[in-house]
């Protein structure tokens, strides 16, 4: 069986926005072995988009960024059979420069001077580069029910984003939550990750809403389940908000510094403010 290597890096939001393009590769080359070099986000949430996987932090991957690239390809049990490598990187990146020296086909499907939504841009760029015809598909992430008990109906708040500059104020988020809830009796779940615990703690200090559960560092597949079962979601421009977008939950996402025309979550259920 022929092998295609796909190299893709990026944060959680970048990976989710890239999944329609990855879906093109999966279904346009159904008879190929698709090997991903990527992040754990892709491995956890979208295992059906590939046949085998190498974590981007592997020692084999580090060699691809050097004159040892050919040795790395030949030594790897799967890479050695590849005829094509698709790199989701800017043209001219260090990786693409080294890969071009090998006897492989290199396709750069990358973000550069994008003027419309990044996910659509990457999808159309991939179609163009691979010369294939494939219907746009938004892959749905794998979900698993959390062990922790969650009482329905519930709504989700993610007050952080990994960068303080991207966060709406705690007061604005609280006001949006109260407005959206109205007279409905929702239980509330506040999510926090490693990089936004300070923002979440600041929000909880002013929130003081009964029946609020704070869940710290849930698994991504558990977040996907929570989103698909929630009444509403409120957050900032973050990877968690992109996960909300593909889950189909109704929600509000605040964009403070980034351009929502390019970076808003996939789907029609999220209101951008």
- Give the span between the Cα atoms of 198 and 185, in whole angstroms: 28
- Give the span between the Cα atoms of 95 and 100, in whole angstroms: 9
Instruction: Say if residue 241's pLDDT is above 60.
Output: yes
More confident residue, 110 or 76: 76
Query: The tokens 């593909």 sit on which residue?
Result: 246
DSSP secondary structure letter of residue 32: S
Tokens encoding 111: 């973000």
Give residue 103's pLDDT band: very low, low, confident or very high (50, 70, 90): low
- Give the span between the Cα atoms of 146 and 45, in whole angstroms: 15
Across the range 19-23, mean pLDDT stands at: 96
Across the range 22-47, mean pLDDT stands at: 95
Q: If you count them, how many residues does the chain have?
A: 273
Which pLDDT value is given to residue 109? Answer: 59
Which pLDDT value is given to residue 235? Answer: 98
pLDDT digits 0-9 by tens, 201-233: 999 999 988 889 999 999 999 999 999 999 999
Would you list the DSSP string of 59-100?
HHHHHTTSTTHHHHHHHSTTGGGEEEEEEES-TT-HHHHHHT
pTM (2 d.p.): 0.93
Q: Going by C-beta distance under 8 Å and a sequence separation of 6 or more, which residues neighbour residue 250?
A: 231, 232, 233, 269, 270, 271
Across the range 111-134, mean pLDDT stands at: 84
Give residue 45's pLDDT band: very low, low, confident or very high (50, 70, 90): very high
Which pLDDT value is given to residue 210? Answer: 86
Which stretch of 18-22, 120-124, 172-176 has the lowest confidence by average pLDDT?
120-124
Q: Cα dihedral sign for 146, 149, 154, 159?
A: negative
Burial of 163 (0-12, 13-18, 19+ CB in 10 A): middle
More confident residue, 208 or 38: 38
Q: How far is CA 95 from the centre of its chain?
A: 22
**Burial letters 43-63, b for 16+ CB under 10 A, else e:** bbbbeebbbebbebeeebbeb
Strand order in the sheet with 105-108: 52-55, 33-38, 3-8, 82-88, 105-108
Q: Going by C-beta distance under 8 Å and a sequence separation of 6 or more, which residues neighbour residue 57?
A: none
Instruction: Say if residue 131's pLDDT is above 70.
Output: yes
pLDDT digits 0-9 by tens, 147-196: 999 999 999 999 999 889 999 999 999 999 999 999 999 999 999 988 89
Instruction: Say if residue 110's pLDDT is above 60.
Output: no
Percent of all residues in the chain with a pLDDT value above 90, rounded to a whole number: 65
Cβ-contact 107, 84 below 8 angstroms: yes
Mean pLDDT score of the chain, rounded to an integer?
A: 91
More confident residue, 30 or 97: 30
Across the range 243-257, mean pLDDT stands at: 97
pLDDT digits 0-9 by tens, 48-98: 999 999 999 988 898 888 888 888 888 888 988 888 888 887 767 778 777
- Give the span between the Cα atoms of 268 and 138, in whole angstroms: 12
Q: How far is CA 45 from the centre of its chain?
A: 9
Beta bridge partners of 87: 7, 108
Instruction: Say if residue 111's pLDDT is above 70.
Output: no
Percent of all residues in the chain with a pLDDT value above 70, rounded to a whole number: 96
- Give the span between the Cα atoms of 187 and 127, in whole angstroms: 43
Cβ-contact 47, 148 below 8 angstroms: no
């Amino acid at each position: 069986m022929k092998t295609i290597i796909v190299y893709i890096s990026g944060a959680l939001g970048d990976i989710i926005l890239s999944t329609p393009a990855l879906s093109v590769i999966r279904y346009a080359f159904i008879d190929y072995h698709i090997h991903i070099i990527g992040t754990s986000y892709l491995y956890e949430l979208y295992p059906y988009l590939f046949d085998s996987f190498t974590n981007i932090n592997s020692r084999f991957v580090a060699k691809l960024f050097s004159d040892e690239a050919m040795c790395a390809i030949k030594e790897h049990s799967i890479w050695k059979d590849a005829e094509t490598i698709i790199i989701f990187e800017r043209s001219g990146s260090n990786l693409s420069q080294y890969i071009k020296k090998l006897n492989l086909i290199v396709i750069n499907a990358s973000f550069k001077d994008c003027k419309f939504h990044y996910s659509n841009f990457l999808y159309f760029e991939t179609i163009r580069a691979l010369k294939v015809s494939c219907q746009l598909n938004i892959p749905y992430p794998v979900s698993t029910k959390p062990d922790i008990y969650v009482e329905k109906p519930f709504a989700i708040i993610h007050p952080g984003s990994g960068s303080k500059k991207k966060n709406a104020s705690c007061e604005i988020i609280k006001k949006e939550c109260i407005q959206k809830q109205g007279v409905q009796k929702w239980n509330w779940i506040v999510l926090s990750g490693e990089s936004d615990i300070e923002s979440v703690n600041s929000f909880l200090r002013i929130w003081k809403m009964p029946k609020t559960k704070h869940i710290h560092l849930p698994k991504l597949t558990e977040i996907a389940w929570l989103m698909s079962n929630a009444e509403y979601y409120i957050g900032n421009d973050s990877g968690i908000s992109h996960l909300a977008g593909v889950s189909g939950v109704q929600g509000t996402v605040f964009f403070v510094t980034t351009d929502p025309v390019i970076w808003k979550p996939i789907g029609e259920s999220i209101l951008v403010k």
